[in-house]
Each structure stands twice: as C-alpha cells, then as structure tokens.
Structure 1
Amino acid sequence: MPLGHFPLNGKIAVVTGAGSGINLSFAKLAIEQGARVVIADLKLTAEGEAFVKETDSRSVVFTKCDVTKRADLENLVQASLDAFQDVPDVWVAGAGVFEPSWSNFWDDTEGDGYSQVDINVTHPMKLSRIAIRSLLGRNKKGVILCVSSLAGFQGTFSAPLYCASKHAVIGFVRSLAELERLEGIKVVGIAPGLVRTPLWTDYPEKMEQFGYTMESSITAEDVAKAMADAITDGKVLGGLSVSVSTSGTRLLGTWNIEAPKEDGTSVPKEVIERNYAPIITTMKKERSRL
C-alpha cells in the first residue's frame, strides 16, 4: 500500500552533493523540519562549512564521499549509524555535474566511459540499491529521492550526455514505482529547470552559451521545498517526478507530458545559435580529418 504522509521530523536523511547548491538548501530545510542529516560530498563550500559549524552536531554530520566509489556510498550507512545510531530513512541522490570539460560528449576527452554518467546515473542507482538493502535490513519504511532535471524530458544538442543521464534517472525512478506498494519504500524524482547554483553561476561562459538569466531561473530554496514536498506528501507516489521551474511545480507522469511555456522552459532562436556555436566549430575541425 502507499507509504502515505512521511514527515521529515524525527527522520534521518543522507544527502549526496550537499556541500553546496540545492542539496545544501535541502539539508538546511530538512533540519528545520526536525530531521538529522548526513551531508555527503567531496568537500564543503564556505557556506556549507559555516552551516555545519553553526548547527548542533546532534543534527548534522559531514562525511567525505566520492559518489563514483561504491565503498564511499556504502560508508554512508556507517556514518549514519555512528552519528545517529540508525540507518537513514530518507536518501537523496543529489550529486551531479553538467557537461564539465573533463567529461562531456563533444570534447570526448575520456578513454573509456564517461565520468558524468558515473556521477549522474550510476551513483543514484548504486545509492538506491544500498538504501533499499539498508531499509529492509532494519525493517524500516523510507523514501529515496533522485535529482534529475527538466532536461530528463527533452533533448539539448549541445548537452546530449547530460540530457541522456537525466533521462536515465527518470526511467530508473519510474521503474521502481512498485517498490512503494511492495515494501513501503517510495522512490521519487525531482526535475528542476534552471537553478541559481554554482553549477551555473561559477561558469559565466556556460550561462552565456545556454542563455541563462536570473529571470529564467529559480532559487535553490525553491527546489529544496519541492524536494521536501515530494518526500513528505503522500499524494506524490513512487515512480513519479516533480518538476519545479519558473512555471511552478507539477507532477510528471509517464505519458503525454505537455511542455511548459514560461520563462526558462523555452529557448529563443538566437540563444540556440549561440548555444550550438562551439559544437559546430568542433565538428568543422573534425570534418575531412581522416
């Protein structure tokens, strides 16, 4: 049967990628709502470090975690046991990257595979399996939330690897819908549009290429609230994803999803041309080289 209302108060949450951005905002909100949180990331930003220092150690702990390493993901269970004497009730697979220079389709600098896929796809799948095993082992109900993107419902010529990775997350979440009925473990997704986070604001060249503006973006706090609602609201059933953008929030089912039309959800022609320019240049260099 459905999990039903699942308040964060009194729960333990582990959040990957919570050193900054939307996942740090969610960690803050979860603590405000009475949860205890394991922040998992490679490192803390100055904001994240200040938050951990200023928050009661009985409510938050930081654990260094490389999400591409299974041992680091498995260690999150022990980190929760050490800090809070139980396994997490809520698991947020939040860590992700957006077409970094060291791992993307068009530059294609990697020999075997793509690190972006390891981070954006393999990590939420591995973490979810660890979560299921841990929850069942403690005979607990719980929620797994995987961070996807509106890019998981569309394609972008200049960011095919990122879009493919986020499509994979949506498909993974949909595939685990039955887990809520069978075992009381709800798996849901969150699909933000453009968000004001370091993923964008630390890279002005990407902001220009993809037509990012403050008017077309939402805040990390907006996404964090939608994440908390997706976890706690019994009406958000396993297998569903919640989109959040300048047009607000809505549940995304499996079939016949109408595209949103507000700022930040459509791309002007001139932005598309600017967006494609570096890829067109790359392909021109490759033409007739062999």
Structure 2
Amino acid sequence: MASSSVAKKSLAKHYPAAANNIHYAHCDVASEPDVKNLVDFAVSKFGNLDIMYNNAGIIGDHERLPAQDSSTKDFRRIMDVNVLGAFLGAKHAARVMVPAKRGGVVLFTTSMATVVGGLAKPAYSASKHAVVGIMRELCMELGEHGIRVNCIAPGAIATPMSTEPVKIDREVLEEIIKSKAVLKDTVVKEEDIAEAAVYLSSDEGKVLSGVNLVIDGGFSSTNTTFAKL
C-alpha cells in the first residue's frame, strides 16, 4: 500500500501545487455513509471529483491458517473491507462523476495474488480477484461516460502489513524479496505503486482502461517450481 506520505511526495514531483492542497477525512470504507460523506467532502473542497483511488485493504488475521482452521468472521471482515469497500468507493465516485460529464479515473489496489496462486490465504486472494471482477464490469459501464477504470496489482512490498505478521525488520524482508526476484535485485517500493497510480490517472494513460497492472518485476510471470527440482 502506498502511504499518504509517499503519495504526497509523488504528487509533489508531478503536481507541485496539488501536494500542498491535501485534506483528510475519517472513513471506514465498509460503511456506506462514511464513503458517501468522503466523496461529498472531496467535492465540497475541490468542486468536483476526477480521480478515486480505492486503496484501502486488509489481510485479516495475521496467522495464515489452513482453510479448515480459518474463521468465518475473518473471511467476512476481509470481504467487507477489500471488496465491499472497493465497490462503495467506485459507486459513490460514479454518483458524482457521471452527472458531471467530465470523465474521470477510478483505481483499485489488487495484488499479484490475482495472477498467481500460493502467495496469500484464500480469503485475501478471493477478495482481490473479486476487485478485478468489479473493475472489468465498471470498465464497460463507466467507459460510456469517459471514465477509465483500472487496477494496480503490487508485488511483495515490505510494509508493516507484510513485516508485522512475520515479525522481521523491513530490511530483512526486502533482502528475502530480492533473493526471489525474477528481475535481478528488484525490490518493489511504495513509491513504485504511487508512480503507477499517477501514470494511470494522467493524460499519459488516457487509453488505458480495464487493466490489472502488475508491479512485481516479472515475479508472477514465472513458475519456479521446476527450478527447485
């Protein structure tokens, strides 16, 4: 996940004026009133909504248990945040973007777990596959109004979401990731995801819609099973 500080640095690089005009509002993405209020807050501050990035997500219980031992409560919470939250963000973005007739961009964060198995527990993987499904349907529906809809699928990033469950330092996890890289010495950083979001939201990405853009240095394109024999 790209943190707010990283996103601000990326904004400062590409759009210096925007970096000094950031506002925050509390929002539980699984609560429709909260999401509605967030979108209305943005419109009240800036006059319109051109980009909606649905980036919030959780992995649920840190322990990766076998499916037979996992809890229904954990599964439902992951779906509420990752899937319902993503849908509500897109729904309320469309609510203001479509009537405005300005076009716009709706982005979602997915995961490289949407293109390769064995990297996450079933609930998390299922939630991110569902978001890709939402994106593809909205690509058609909102495309009629000039609104582009895309996903960004990050590879492994040593954020607290990744380091806390395994209780290791960021630097250690990055070395492990680097050792498994397909593209030599590649480590995906939060900045890489922020840059991808800026690109997909900009005029440079004006013909891209319906894309699940994988940012992982080619890791998910290769099956290393036979190399281990």
When normalised by structure 1's length, the TM-score is: 0.64
Within 5 A, what are the aligned runs for 1:192-203?
Answer: 192-203=154-165
User: For the aligned residues, what is the CA RMSD?
Assistant: 3.2
Q: How many Å apart are 1:238 and its aligned residue?
A: 1.6
Larger-gyration structure (1/2) = 1
Tell me how far apart the structure 1 counterparts of residues 159 and 74 of structure 2 sit (CA, whole Å): 30
Contact 1:80 1:88 in 2 (8 A): yes
The equivalent position to 1:243 in structure 2, one of 197, 214, 217, is 214
Q: Which has the higher helix share?
A: 2
Give the CA deviation at 1:247.
Answer: 3.1
Residue 34 (structure 1) shift = 2.3
Cα distance change on mapping 1:71 and 1:132 into 2, 3 Å:
same
Structure 1 residue 157, shift from structure 2 partner? 7.5
Query: For residue 93 of structure 1, what is the aligned residue in structure 2?
Result: 54
Equivalent residues of 1:179, 1:186 under 8 A apart: no
The one of 64, 83, 89 aligned to 1:121 = 83
SS in 2 for 1:64: coil
Partner of 2:108: 146
Q: Greater relative contact order (Cα 8 A, min sep 6): structure 1 or 2? A: 2
Identify unmatched segments of 5+ residues in structure 1.
Answer: 1-20, 38-54, 249-258, 271-290
Q: Does 1:227 align with 2:194?
A: no
In structure 2, the residue matched to 1:22 is 2
Amino acid paired to 1:95: A
Native 8 Å contact 2:113 2:120 kept in 1 = no
**In 2 relative to 1, CA 23–184 (structure 1 residues): closer, same or farther, beyond 3 Å?**
farther
Is residue 33 of structure 1 aligned with residue 18 of structure 2? no
Q: Is the 8 A contact 1:81 1:87 kept in 2?
A: yes
Q: Does residue 65 in structure 1 map to residue 27 in structure 2?
A: yes
| Structure 2 counterparts to residues 128-207 of structure 1, below 5 A | 128-156=90-118, 159-179=121-141, 181-205=143-167
Q: Is the 8 A contact 2:109 2:153 kept in 1?
A: yes
Give the 3 Å change call, closer, same or farther, for CA 34–168 of structure 1 in structure 2: same
1:92 Cα deviation (Å)? 0.3
Over 3 Å counting, the alpha-carbon distance change for 1:76 and 1:36 in structure 2 is farther
Distance in 1 separating the partners of 2:50 and 2:214: 23
Displacement of 1:138: 2.4
3-state SS of paired residue (2:205): coil
Which residues of structure 2 form unaligned runs of 5+?
182-186
| Residue pair 1:192, 1:223 contacting (<8 A) in 2 also | yes
Aligned positions, number:
214
Greater fraction strand: 1
How far residue 177 of structure 1 moved from its aligned partner, in angstroms, is 2.2
Cα offset for 1:223? 1.3
Relative to structure 1, the CA distance from residue 267 to residue 171 in structure 2 (aligned partners, 3 Å threshold; closer, same or farther) is farther
Deviation at 1:268, TM superposition (A): 9.6
CA separation of 1:158 and 1:145: change in aligned 2, threshold 3 A: closer
Identical aligned pairs, as a percentage?
Answer: 26
Letter aligned with residue 30 of structure 1: L
